[in-house]
Structure 1
Amino acid sequence: MFAVKSTAPSFVGGDSWANDVGQRPSPQAGPAPTQPLRREDVVTQQPVPGTNPPEYEDVVTEPGDTDDEWAEKQAAYTAALAAHNIAVQQDAEAMATFDAALEVERQKVDRIAIAGRVPVNVQDAQPGDYIVPVQDGAGIKGIAVHEDDISMKQYFRAVGRVISIEPDGRAYVMVKVV
């Protein structure tokens, strides 16, 4: 009986090899702060008393930001942006640490695709071909066998059937359930 060893199987049963690594860290940075807008004076036109025909003048009904207020807003934004950038860096470092620990644990196990779809390192296959294991020196490799050329013995040993070809030329296989 043969199976497909994979780094990305579709379905895995009892896959607890990474439990000791813990949960993937959640990003803490949150959204980036938004740059403040300077509040401008709100100006309306009001009639000038005692003018005929009426004349109008601009009157500030709501004052905008003073230079000091604007400088405070800019300083607060700069501080918030710096804190956000530090949090983003910390998130990236935490994720890199987690991914490195996860990869160390993944290297310790062979994950076997027992069902579903999985890419295999077999070149020159065509959709519809069967992937059959054959001896390769001291190891095993898969070869593509066209459905018209497959023997019953090869069919029983086949690990799956090619459903498509990946952009890099590898066969993408539907794993044959035994």
Structure 2
Amino acid sequence: MKLLSILALLGFSFLVMAEDKTNAVKDAVSNVVSGIVSFSKNALSGVNQGVEEGRQDGESIDGARIISSHNTLAHYNIVLSISKVNQISAEHYEVIMVIRNNEAEPVRFINLFDSLNVILLDDEGFSSHLTNNYLDITVPAKAAIKSSWQFYGVEGKPDILRIYGQEIKVPQIIHD
């Protein structure tokens, strides 16, 4: 009986030690992976920030002024308006944007694909993001362009288009 008790106690001790080692290994691996993920996120964030700063600071080949934020948009004489809004299907809208550049140089809108830069808000304040993923739009000097922007998943009635923080009231919707 004593032998059986001693064997049971030893077996239990080995299980506890094995579980402690398993937890230690698990914790160590978790810490290493967490560090790698954190490092990778910081590295990618730094790369993105460096690319954006480089695009803004450097002179573009065509001399275009770069617009990438509310501040840069407000700095230049640019007029944004909505020509019309078409309802393509139940939750799919096309917004025809008019971008008028009154500057003597071309302007280039960058990072339009960033989900915080172009947002369509419905009448309840829910947001939908630009889905046709324009990388850039360049508007020639002293000229205007029309650009078709697509938004999916718009459940309510489109109310406000927000571009780099500037809000534009959405006009009456045309049903196709």
TM-score range, shorter chain: 0.3 to 0.5
Higher helix share: 2
Scaled by the length of structure 2, the TM-score of the pair is: 0.35
Q: Which has the higher strand share?
A: 2
Higher relative contact order at CA 8 Å, sep ≥6: structure 1 or structure 2?
A: 1
Q: Which has the larger radius of gyration?
A: 1
Per the normalisation by structure 1, the TM-score is 0.34
